[in-house]
Structure 1
Amino acid sequence: MGLLNSISFLRLQRGIDAATMRQNALANNVANVDTPGFKRSDVSFESFLREQESGLKPSLGAKVTDLRHIRFGTTGSIPSPGIHTDETTTMNNNDNNVDIDREMALSAENQLRYSSYVQLLSSQISMMRTATEGR
């Protein structure tokens, strides 16, 4: 396994991808706040990751009873972010469901999440650099 292929590194990388996708979806929602019939979109990632880590979704991986066994299955997979559209709600008389205040709050939350992911990733790379260079 390479240094940059650890499960925590890959989770952070997917988290950054999800935050980027979410920012694009939120920007699209804000841009279409006055578009009649527009339905807001959002990105799901953290909930998928929580479900997988808590064991709510069963995995199909093989049980390993000895360190010499070959691991196979989906035990180490990381969920991909998914975009979904909220078709069930309506905010305005024109069938639009974008609330600008909510979108701006979600955007600020997403920015904090993105910054923390980048900071954690930078910290991991710094630790790897220290371990390999010995400084």
Structure 2
Amino acid sequence: MERSLDAASLRQAVIANNIANVDTPRFKRSEVQFETLLQHSLHGAPGKVVGRRTDPRHLYIGRTGKEVEPQVTIDKNSVMNNNLNNVDIDSEMSAMAKNQLRYNTLVQQVSHEIKLAKTAMEVR
């Protein structure tokens, strides 16, 4: 969930940058890739999922390879306007709303997990 929140936060910044440059000549929009990378990692070859270690004493989960990180990609091929800009304000606003819903859902999930942990730790 932490990586998903990081990706959603990065995606919000990238979309905001796209919107801010909607009228900038020759500006090329960017987007964040995370969910597809995560799915490829989960459905790829067995053992590709790697647990994140927050302490050197923790055990390794899966292979000791690279964790899935969000990646920013630039769409250099498409053109939307006469000024060679490829930002479509309607699709960017839609993507921002979708990302906001995803972020809010993730925050609710994290909050629920914290409440469960607190309940488990309470002494009766």
Task: Give the TM-score category using the shorter length.
Answer: 0.7 to 0.9
Partner in structure 2 of residue 50 of structure 1: 39
**Quick one: which amino acid aligns to residue 100 of structure 2?**
Q
Partner in structure 1 of residue 21 of structure 2: 32
Shift of residue 75, structure 1, vs aligned partner: 6.7
Contact kept, 8 Å, 1:49 with 1:78, in 2: the verdict is no
**Quick one: which amino acid aligns to residue 92 of structure 2?**
E
Shift of residue 28, structure 1, vs aligned partner: 0.4
Local SS of the residue matching 1:26: helix
Partner in structure 1 of residue 74 of structure 2: 85
- Paired with 2:19 and 2:46, the residues of 1 have a C-alpha distance of 33
Shift of residue 76, structure 1, vs aligned partner: 8.4
For structure 2, the 5+ residue unaligned runs are 51-58
Q: Sequence identity of aligned pairs in percent?
A: 47
For structure 1, the 5+ residue unaligned runs are 1-11, 62-69
Contact kept, 8 Å, 1:38 with 1:95, in 2: the verdict is yes
Contact kept, 8 Å, 2:41 with 2:49, in 1: the verdict is no
**Quick one: which amino acid aligns to residue 85 of structure 2?**
N
- Taking only aligned residues, the RMSD between alpha carbons, in angstroms, comes to 2.5
- Paired with 1:50 and 1:116, the residues of 2 have a C-alpha distance of 19
Shift of residue 74, structure 1, vs aligned partner: 2.6
Hey, which bits of structure 1, 4+ residues long, moved more than 3 A?
Answer: 70-73, 75-78
Q: TM-score, normalised by structure 1?
A: 0.77
Q: TM-score, normalised by structure 2?
A: 0.83
